[in-house]
Amino acid sequence: MKNATITGWGRCVPPQIVTNDDLSTVVDTSDEWITSRSGIKERRVSHVNNSDMATLAARRAMAAAGVTSDDLDYIIVATCTPDRQIPAAACIVQAKLGAMQAAASDINAGCTGFIYGLSMAHGLIATGTAGRVLLIGSERISSYLDLDERSTAVLFGDGAGAVIVEATDRDEGIKSMHLGADGTGAEALTATGLGTEFIGQEARLAIIMDGQEIFKNAVKRMGDETVDAIRNAGWEETEVDLVIPHQANARIIDAVRRRIKASEDQVYVNIHKYGNTSAATIPIALAEAVEDGTIKPGAKLIFVAFGAGLTWGASAFQWGDRVDPIATIDDDLPTPDRTGIEILVEKHKALYG
């Protein structure tokens, strides 16, 4: 059976930054509250569609892997904020890439989407259905934010990350994988106003969360999953080089770190820069950690997440030899003509008047 490893990585974070102080001009909140409760200092807000960020992250990952769009067998987009409900975001990305040999579908597992996607890529590779999978986590979650719902409006941000997952005979890649879900907790983190259930109703589009319930569950599930992922890989906790956790709250991340008695250097944290980018979080952090030299050849990594569904999951992953991209591309998103806060306020006015 083939192993599944990552040979390319890329990210696309939109250029417009919204700081906590910027948000405080339109939301009843403060930098002090957001920083102390979540660790977030700023987030990115996109002026382009989710699929545009996803496509650029994908092209960067393809360059890093040294592959072309014709080499892709399958495209998976993990997202809960697709451009459209029909068709899948992956089909829109496929067309933008011209990857006409590839099958394409989405996964919605909330913030755990990237790990669910990695599991799917693993299965496609292990069964020989695909040899090379483009896996993207991409969110334009700012589109769902209601600035009057301050308990969630301050937490989320936009962005995309992508990896190329390839079949290999080398002893590397996915070493353990576990996923879980509890749909009875659906109401604890949900978006209202979107979906067939709401047609004909006057439901307001907003993300609604029982923050403390989610917090409690996230600490437990992410801690348990991290411990199990390490054990199931046959590793000791001291062998782990880097945990890349979902970034929803710096206090949750710290609780996971303490659970496995890891040092601060062993856990990747970028929540202060991007907030919670849902399914995009882990691939953005992964690409950043390779680029900034945190991930070394052969590194033992843990990916772990918890999110809407409720869903959770973790994977132990051994990096290969290569930490340098085979190639890079110069392309970027078009220059925005509005500030991040203007984009948020305009969208809010268009939705709610």
Q: Rounded to the nearest whole angstrom, what is the least distance from the CB of residue 271 to ligand UT7 in the complex? A: 10
- Residues 58 and 72: their CA atoms lie apart, in Å, by 11
Nearer residue to ligand UT7 within complex by CB, 76 or 305: 305
The radius of gyration computed from the CA coordinates of the chain, to the nearest angstrom, equals 19
- Closest by alpha carbon to 140, among 351, 344, 350? 344
Out of 2, 15, 26, 29, the residue judged to bind ligand UT7 by CB under 6 A: 29
307 lies in the site for ligand UT7, by CB under 6 A: yes
Out of 214, 230, 244, 282, the residue judged to bind ligand UT7 by CB under 6 A: 214
- Closest by alpha carbon to 111, among 201, 246, 243, 16? 246
Residue 245: cis peptide before it, omega within 30 degrees of 0: no
Out of 3, 38, 55, 318, the residue judged to bind ligand UT7 by CB under 6 A: 38
* Interacting span for ligand UT7 (CB under 6 A) from 170-178, 193-201, 210-218, 320-328: 210-218
Distances in Å between the Cα of 104 and the Cα atoms of 77, 87, 125, 135 are 8, 10, 15, 10
List residues with catalytic annotation. 111, 246, 276
- Show contacts with ligand UT7 in window 260-289 (CB under 6 A): 276
Out of 77, 118, 154, 284, the residue judged to bind ligand UT7 by CB under 6 A: 154
H-only helix segments in 202-280 = 211-232, 250-259, 271-274
Q: Which contiguous run of DSSP H or E holds residue 134?
A: strand 132-139
CB 75 within 8 A of CB 99: yes
85 lies in the site for ligand UT7, by CB under 6 A: no
218 lies in the site for ligand UT7, by CB under 6 A: yes
- Closest by alpha carbon to 139, among 249, 72, 44, 60? 44
Q: Rounded to the nearest whole angstrom, what is the least distance from the CB of residue 238 to ligand UT7 in the complex? A: 27
112 lies in the site for ligand UT7, by CB under 6 A: no
Nearer residue to ligand UT7 within complex by CB, 168 or 192: 192
Nearer residue to ligand UT7 within complex by CB, 250 or 299: 250
Structure token pair of residue 233: 């890989």
Q: Which residues bind ligand UT7 (CB under 6 A)?
A: 29, 33, 37-38, 111, 150-151, 154, 189, 211-212, 214-215, 218, 248-249, 252, 276, 306-307
